[in-house]
Amino acid sequence: MGPEATLDLFSKIVKGTKVKKDQDHLRILVDNHPQIPDRTLAIRGKGSSPLPKLVQSARLLERAGADFIVIPCITVHHFFVPLQRKIKIPILHILNETSAYIQTQLKEVDTIGILATTGTVEAGLFRKAFASTDVELIFPAPEAQKKYVMEAIYGRRGIKAIGPSENSKRLILKASKQLTMRGAQALVAGCTEIPLVLNDGDLPIPIIDPLSILASAAIKKAGGKTE
C-alpha cells in the first residue's frame, strides 16, 4: 500500500502500546508492498484488480506466522470479503472498527464529514459501515473532491508523490472547512494518507483517524495494553 501510511500505522502501534521495556512490545510483521495496483483505479474500472497481489501479501504474512492482518488502506476494503475468503487468519476491518468507535465514543455526534478517495466514496464503503447507525454522512461536492481531496493525495505534489507537505495540508483544510460549513460535527480522515497532514486540533471539530483506531484494535487483538 502507501509506504507513508504503512509507516504511520507501524508507528501508531508501537507508540500506542503500553510497555516498560523492549520485550513488552508486540511482534509485528510488515509486508511493504507498494506494487499492489491502485485501488481507486480498479474500482473505477480503469486499472488492474489488486486482489491477486493482496492475496499474495496476505498469504506471505500468514506463512510467516501472523495471527491476524491489518491493512493501512481504506479503499482496499472494497476487496475485503474476497480477500478474507482466500486466507485462514482474520483481517481487522478498519471501517467497522471506526464505526464502532464513533458509536461508543462520540455518541453526541450525528453528522460526520468524510474525506476519502473517490474510489472509497464511489464504492460506498462508509455508507455500508454506517448503514445500521443513525449517523448522517456528508461528502465533499464533486468539484471539491477532485480539486482538493484527490489533488492532495494523488496530485503531482500530493502525498503519494512527495509525502506530506504544506500544499497537501492546505488542500485538505479547504475541503474540511467546506464540510464543516455544511454541518459536519466531526470529520473522518477516510484515506490513510490524510492523517499525515490533518490532525485533531486543526479544526474546531474532532478529527477522527481510522488508522489510530485500527492501531488500538490491533494492540488489543494481539494481547497488548494501550496507553
The Cα 156–Cα 84 span in angstroms is 34
Look up 94 and say whether it is catalytic. no
CA atoms within 13 A on the CB side of 157: 9
For residue 43, the SS3 value is helix
Query: What grid cell was written down for 39?
Result: 485501488
Look up 127 and say whether it is catalytic. no
Query: What grid cell was written down for 35?
Result: 506494487
For residue 66, the SS3 value is coil
Question: In 3D, which of 46, 205, 41, 21 has the Cα closest to residue 113?
Answer: 205
Task: Given the residues 191, 194, 208, 218, select the one marked as catalytic.
Answer: 191
The Cα 215–Cα 218 span in angstroms is 5
CB 60 within 8 A of CB 69: no
Task: Given the residues 5, 73, 94, 211, select the one marked as catalytic.
Answer: 73
CA atoms within 13 A on the CB side of 28: 23
Find residue 91's DSSP bridge partners. Answer: 69
Q: Please list, residue by residue across 89-104, b when 16 or more beta carbons sit within 10 angstroms of its beta carbon and e when fewer do.
A: eebbbbbebbbebbee
| Catalytic positions | 73, 191
